[in-house]
Structures are given as structure tokens and as C-alpha cells.
């Protein structure tokens, strides 16, 4: 190979490694063009006598694991070189089993107002076979910190009756924690912690027999100060697990959030048994009057008392699974307006609606996502107006005319929610509702200020006029 050929080869490698840092997802067309270009270069080099390569041969495989521990982040892309391995939501992990060669690990995210993704962190790694490399992104998008660790992978035959566990402390809101992992109902005992979790560190491994366990976290050297206690969970043998501790997610109850991270992209939330799920109730049943709500046929103390139409309760503790509830007129348990069941997930936060006409009442629950995302504003509209089967939903700037734009959502049916809609530009917007495929406004427009990191919750309600409706903002 002559000097000119060597320079061409080096130029190709450099361009492959430092391509545009803001472009995470190449279109198929661009990818095909780029691949064709590389093939042409490869052929040219081979023809001119430069067929050999200096890249070493792989002798085994290691494992790369990325973790998103930035509380208010959007999804973060985990890339090996320029290839996306997964988009990680807060507390999620993405993994890649890979040859024992050297690589650059990259993290990318869409920053506020941007269309393309920006590279926010990178790390070189020289992979050794049968080793796991962990990369946890913490801090903020503007000033991220990349915590790293590496350790030998446990080799399992598959017949073992034990499992291997480690703890990983990623909660900036908590100091050092003692980690107890024992049979359900076992109280923490001084000196018997499995590990001490220090922020930013991965603990040494500990081995236990497969079975049912509770994970308990206490303040270091104070077993009586319990910071977290999981529900009972089962752990099978011949597995490795990392118990990762995160800052509290506003979408769940509890002061700390814990994930059990196993092989691949498995990341399971371990619910804090000392913090039950919560519920809040919106009265959306027009002409029903004020109501009380009781649970489990216990009519001594109502969970909800004297709630009027369009009103919202505060969060209150609720039970998990399927819970029978009864609605009565305020102060009159002799009249049953509705007997129904509500189902919520352990550790979650939820909003329930009493809906329908007086003779056709219904109750429904939607889980809340209250975690702020610093790069977007989010809103949700729930259709609980019984007098209109479906509506189109418009979201537009003050300077725009509804006649000139398309709906943000088409034909949203009664008893459905939009889910959380993201706006990447913070501004004042108008929310309006029409009948499907029409432009005459039947509800709104209502002005909402969408701020980055903010969440606006709305509901479409009936009015005295069966052809007109209200949009209420019940949480902002």
C-alpha cells in the first residue's frame, strides 16, 4: 500500500467514527448511499493491493450495559460506535453482547427545541471476553456525568440453585445505604447487611439460594431507619441481578425507586410495600349531584366525601388489584348510585373519573405519568362527555386559525384519553374540540401555557346544552 492509499484508508475510518454528532437515526436511503460508498472504497483498496487489515481477531465476547439515571431526561439513545442499541427511558437499561475488541460508547438525546439528537457523552472501552462493562448516565442533560464499572461475568451452567446479586447506587437524594436481602418478614439486623451501597458505586457480588426475598434499604449503620422495603419477589437460580437504586420518580409512590436488572434489557420495578398506590377522583357525571365514594362495602368512612361535578380530589391512598367501590349521594348510604370496581397497579399514581348519565354511571381509571421531562411540555385530555360519541382535538398557536390546520387527534372516542402528548416548543396554545371532520368549535378554545418540563391535565365535560361542552384543566 502506498502513502496515498494509506491516507485514503485513514480518511474513510475517521469519517466513519466522527460522523455528524447530532444525527442519531440515519434514513434508510442515506444508509444505503453510505454503505455503497464504503463498498466502492473497499474494492478500490483491494484492487490496488491493500487487502490486509490491522484490526485484531475477536477471541470471545463481553457485555456492554447502559443505564439512564437522569431524572428529568427524555429517552436517551445508547450507541455502540454509531449503531443504536436502545432508547432508554428514565431507569431503563440497554445491553449489547459484543466481540472482545475496542469500541466507543455514545449517548445521544434530543435537547429542547431540537429536531435532531445531540451527543451528550462518550466513552472508549477495550472489551475483554467474559467481562461486563456498565455505563450509567447521571446528573443532567446539560452537565451529564458518566459512571462506569466493570466486573467478570458469572458463568452459569443452568443447573445452579443460587443466584448472584450486586447493588448499584444512583440516587443523588440518598446517602450511603445498607442493603438487606432476606426471606420475607426478616427484620434488618446490625452487621448482617449484604452490602453497603455508596453513591456512584457498584457493590461486590453476593450469592444466595434461589427463592422468595424482600429487599430492604436502611441508612448506613442504622437498621431501624428503613428507607425502602420491597414487596416479596422470587429470584431463580443460575442468574445475575443488579439492584439499582434511583431518585424517586414522581409517577410512583415512595422515597426511592429500585429496579432489578437482569440479563439483556430486563428492568423490573420493585414496588415499595410501605407506600401504597394513590388515586384522585374527578366528578365528570353531569346532573348526578354531589357524591361520596366508599370501598370494600365499608360504609363507615367514605374515601371521597361531598364531591361536586367538575371537582377533583387530592391524592389519597388506595388498594391494589381490583377494589369494589360504591358511589352514593352525599350523606345518603341508602341510595346506591353505582357499584363498580377499580383496578390500580402497586406503587402507581392514578386519576379516576365518575362518568355517564345518572342512570348509566361508570367509573374508570387512568395511570398518571407525573415525571417532568425537561425537553418537552406534555398535556393529556380525557373525553368524559357522555353527550358526544367522538371528537376531534385541535392544539394551535394564538396566531393560527382552526380553519387552516388539521386536528392533533382525530375522532377521540368517549371514555378514551389522548395519552400524554408532547410539545417541543414552549408557548401559549389554544385547545379546542369539534365534531369529527368538522370545524365548528363545540368546546373551547381554552388557553394553556405549555412550559418545558410541565404537564397539563384536562377533561372534556358535558354542559346543560347537550350540543356544547367544557374543557376543564384539573391539574397544571
Q: Which residues lie closer than 8 Å to 142 by C-beta, 6 or more apart?
A: none
Whole-number pLDDT of residue 47: 41
DSSP letter string over 293-342?
A: EEETT--SS-SEEEEPTT-BPPPEE--SEEEEEEEEETT-TTS-SEEEEE
Same domain, 135 and 180: yes
Please report which helix (H) or strand (E) contains residue 42, including its range: helix 28-47
Whether 56 is in a domain gets the answer: no
Of 270, 289, 305, which closes a domain? 270
Same domain, 35 and 98: no
- Among residues 188, 150, 146, 185, which one has the least CA distance to residue 166? 150
Same domain, 230 and 296: no
Question: What are 106-149's pLDDT values in tens digits?
Answer: 999 999 989 899 999 999 999 999 999 999 999 999 999 999 99
Hey, which residues does 195 pair with through a beta bridge?
A: 179
What average pLDDT does this structure show over 438-451?
96
Whether 256 is in a domain gets the answer: yes
Same domain, 112 and 87: yes
Of the listed ranges 17-31, 96-110, 452-466, the least confidently predicted one is 17-31
Report the C-alpha gap between 267 and 249 in whole angstroms. 15
pLDDT of 9 over the 50 cut: no
Same domain, 260 and 293: no
pLDDT of 11 over the 80 cut: no
Question: What are 199-254's pLDDT values in tens digits?
Answer: 999 999 999 999 999 999 999 999 999 999 999 999 999 999 999 999 999 999 99
The whole domain housing 430 covers 377-475
Whether 55 is in a domain gets the answer: no
Cell (9 digits) for 395: 392544539
Burial of 297 (0-12, 13-18, 19+ CB in 10 A): exposed
Of 367, 400, 433, which closes a domain? 367
Of 251, 270, 289, which closes a domain? 270
Three-state DSSP class for residue 178: strand
Same domain, 135 and 227: yes
Same domain, 228 and 179: yes
Same domain, 241 and 208: yes
Question: What are 44-90's pLDDT values in tens digits?
Answer: 444 444 434 466 899 999 999 999 999 999 999 999 999 999 999 99
In degrees and rounded to multiples of 5, residue 92 shows phi and psi of -85, 160
Contact present, 395 and 430 (Cβ < 8 Å): yes
Question: What are 180-206's pLDDT values in tens digits?
Answer: 999 999 999 999 999 999 999 999 999
Give me the CATH number covering residue 452: 2.60.40.2890
Whether 53 is in a domain gets the answer: no
Task: Look at the chain and report how many structural domains it folds into.
Answer: 4
Whole-number pLDDT of residue 37: 44
Question: What are 145-170's pLDDT values in tens digits?
Answer: 999 999 999 999 999 999 999 999 99
pLDDT of 5 over the 70 cut: no
Report the C-alpha gap between 353 and 463 in whole angstroms. 16
Report the C-alpha gap between 447 and 397 in whole angstroms. 9
pLDDT of 8 over the 70 cut: no
Whether 70 is in a domain gets the answer: yes
Same domain, 163 and 305: no
Whole-number pLDDT of residue 54: 62
Whether 52 is in a domain gets the answer: no
For the chain, percent of residues with pLDDT exceeding 70: 88
Whole-number pLDDT of residue 56: 80
Same domain, 117 and 189: yes
pTM equals 0.84
Same domain, 72 and 200: yes
Question: What are 375-421's pLDDT values in tens digits?
Answer: 999 999 999 999 999 999 999 999 999 999 999 999 999 999 999 99
Whole-number pLDDT of residue 409: 96
Amino acid at each position: 500500500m502506498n502513502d496515498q492509499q494509506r491516507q485514503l484508508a485513514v480518511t474513510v475510518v475517521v469519517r466513519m467514527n466522527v460522523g455528524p454528532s447530532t444525527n442519531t437515526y440515519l434514513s434508510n436511503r442515506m444508509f444505503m448511499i453510505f454503505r455503497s460508498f464504503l463498498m466502492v472504497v473497499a474494492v478500490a483498496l483491494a484492487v490496488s493491493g491493500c487487502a490486509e487489515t490491522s484490526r485484531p481477531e475477536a477471541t470471545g465476547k463481553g457485555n456492554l450495559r447502559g443505564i439512564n439515571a437522569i431524572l428529568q431526561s427524555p429517552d436517551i439513545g445508547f450507541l455502540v460506535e454509531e449503531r443504536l442499541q436502545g432508547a432508554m427511558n428514565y431507569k431503563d437499561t440497554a445491553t449489547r453482547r459484543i466481540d472482545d475488541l475496542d469500541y466507543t460508547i455514545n449517548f445521544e438525546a434530543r435537547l429542547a427545541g431540537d429536531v435532531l439528537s445531540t451527543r451528550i457523552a462518550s466513552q472508549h472501552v477495550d472489551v475483554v471476553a467474559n467481562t461486563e462493562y456498565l455505563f450509567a448516565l447521571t446528573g443532567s442533560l446539560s452537565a451529564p456525568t458518566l459512571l462506569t464499572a466493570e466486573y467478570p461475568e458469572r458463568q452459569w451452567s443452568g443447573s445452579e440453585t443460587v443466584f448472584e446479586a450486586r447493588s448499584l447506587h444512583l440516587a443523588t437524594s440518598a446517602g450511603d445505604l445498607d442493603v438487606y436481602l432476606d426471606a420475607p418478614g426478616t427484620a434488618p439486623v446490625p452487621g448482617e447487611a449484604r452490602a453497603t451501597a455508596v453513591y456512584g458505586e457498584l457493590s461486590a457480588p453476593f450469592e444466595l439460594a434461589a427463592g422468595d426475598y424482600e429487599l430492604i434499604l436502611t441508612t448506613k449503620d442504622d437498621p431501624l431507619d428503613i428507607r425502602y422495603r420491597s414487596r416479596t419477589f422470587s429470584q431463580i437460580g443460575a442468574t445475575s441481578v443488579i439492584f439499582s437504586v434511583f431518585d424517586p420518580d414522581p409517577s410512583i409512590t415512595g422515597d426511592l425507586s429500585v429496579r432489578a436488572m437482569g440479563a439483556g434489557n430486563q428492568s423490573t420495578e420493585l414496588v415499595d410495600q410501605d407506600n401504597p398506590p394513590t388515586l384522585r377522583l374527578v366528578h365528570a357525571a353531569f346532573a348526578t349531584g354531589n357524591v361520596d365514594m366508599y370501598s370494600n362495602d365499608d360504609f363507615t368512612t367514605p374515601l371521597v366525601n361531598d364531591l361536586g361535578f367538575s371537582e377533583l380530589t387530592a391524592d389519597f391512598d388506595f388498594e391494589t388489584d381490583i377494589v369494589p367501590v360504591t358511589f352514593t349521594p352525599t350523606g345518603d348510604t341508602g341510595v346506591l348510585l353505582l357499584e363498580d370496581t377499580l383496578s390500580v397497579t402497586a406503587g402507581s399514581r392514578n386519576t379516576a373519573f365518575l362518568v355517564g348519565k345518572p342512570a348509566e354511571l361508570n367509573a374508570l381509571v387512568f395511570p398518571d405519568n407525573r415525571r417532568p421531562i425537561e425537553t418537552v411540555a406534555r398535556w393529556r385530555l380525557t373525553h368524559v362527555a357522555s353527550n358526544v360519541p367522538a371528537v376531534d382535538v385541535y392544539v394551535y398557536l394564538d396566531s393560527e386559525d382552526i380553519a387552516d390546520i388539521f386536528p392533533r387527534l382525530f375522532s377521540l372516542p368517549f371514555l378514551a384519553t389522548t395519552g400524554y402528548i408532547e410539545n417541543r416548543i414552549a408557548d401559549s396554545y389554544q385547545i379546542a374540540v369539534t365534531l369529527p371532520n368538522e370545524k365548528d368549535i363545540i368546546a373551547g378554545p381554552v388557553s394553556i401555557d405549555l412550559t418545558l418540563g410541565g404537564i397539563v391535565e384536562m377533561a372534556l365535560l358535558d354542559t346543560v346544552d347537550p350540543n356544547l361542552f367544557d374543557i376543564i384543566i384539573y391539574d397544571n
